[in-house]
Structure 1
């Protein structure tokens, strides 16, 4: 129970990777704040997480690209729990699959607004409370940025912006006792399973490029790494990019 009584905000925590991360923290006794755009799915996740782990979960409908929504999340979190210990910026939308030359300004803005700006807003608003708790921030980036994946121009640009922002925060906020790290995951999601069904040959070719021979698991691989980075065991790790891609994200 490394996270017992800790308060963890997870954007996009109701489904996908965010849900796996929420389960990992719930298993360690943390109380959770999960955000997303659809209240119904958030409420369902809240009920399931509370029933399974015996924790408190606050489900708040919010769009990270909207500054007032972010302020609302922080205010309601503090009202409900009195403190914030961990902030995890996971949620983001993009026009992935579109080639760079096909992007409109609106397509590009979608990634920047829901990814880079949302991360900035949450970090800035949570800072006073994380300073008080000497807490942790974990931001999600992507191997699409440092590997230059086709069809990922706006997504990669926003994710690399998040990496740069995180490293600056790690430097500026180190004196406040806040550690800031980045995770770049490669995870098997429902969308990926559908892609596997539709394009089995391409899926098998992709698997061959992963030395460990599989995609990651949202809870066991990503969630557990987040728990470690948020725990006292990782209190001297900050400003780092943790690549969770089964060996396929090797860099010089």
Structure 2
């Protein structure tokens, strides 16, 4: 029996990057993945790839900025599969700017694609996760933990996500639901593009990682998500898991 055999998992931002890597890692452990993304072309391509391993997996096109319809994502998946075991809130878009230059539009984009979808999808998923004693995996960032320059909107939304995750862990622990957070540092497509645009800065950051490398999106981050979605993590909740090669060591 695989670690996630027949568990139904929703992954937002699942068409590429860390989201698709988590989906691949999970279906290899027997999960049925419903990947949610705004990009139809990459979403359908990932759906085909996942279905070679997990034929029941599917792609749902949705714009997470459309706040009123977020609940439909949950209901559509439950109507199709009859249950929900794991919710992974991975999607997030933002623009870099200093605090002085950050606009309301920048804040709206970051909170509208990151914090609000995380919050409202958690709300909508709760009745179904109660039934399965399920898992929620949310995402933090070193940008928020360390306060990286030019990341005001992104860092604020990420830390807000950490805050509601801890509240949910306290409120929902009695239901058998665990809520945890991954803070990753990995060679995602965005990081790879950055390494080409600013190779010196990339190497400088890499040199400060105790393990000497950026993580692999599937093997290093995806496997942490598998652990948090599995029964192996049943007694862990409200925690920020630093999947970053030791870059940030929480106290």
Q: Same fold (TM over 0.5)?
A: yes
Gaps of 5+ in 1: none
Superposition RMSD in Å: 1.0
Q: Displacement, 1:113? A: 1.3
Q: Could you tell me which residue of structure 2 aligns to residue 9 of structure 1?
A: 10
Q: Is the 8 A contact 1:30 1:55 kept in 2?
A: no
Pairs aligned (count): 250
Show the counterpart of 1:46.
47
Alignment correspondent of 1:67:
67
Conservation of the 8 A alpha-carbon contact between 2:5 and 2:31: yes
Name whichever of 19-28 and 242-251 sits farther off: 242-251
Shift of 1:69: 2.9
Instruction: Report if aligned partners of 1:99, 1:152 keep a CA contact under 8 Å in 2.
Output: yes
Q: Does 1:80 align with 2:80?
A: yes
1:194 Cα shift?
Answer: 2.1
Q: When the two structures are superposed, what TM-score results if normalisation uses the length of structure 1?
A: 0.96
- Once the two structures are superposed, the pairs formed by residues 22-171 of structure 1 within 5 Å of their partners are 22-51=23-52, 53-96=53-96, 98-171=97-170
Task: Give unmatched runs, 5+ long, in structure 2.
Answer: none
| Counterpart secondary structure, 1:34 | strand
Looking at structure 1, the residues matched to 114 and 193 of structure 2 have their Cα atoms a distance apart, in angstroms, of: 24
In 2, Cα distance between equivalents of 1:50 and 1:87: 19
Offset from partner CA, 1:170-212 (integer Å, 9 cap, x none): 0000111100001100111222222222222211111111010
Q: Which residue number in structure 1 is paired with residue 215 of structure 2?
A: 216
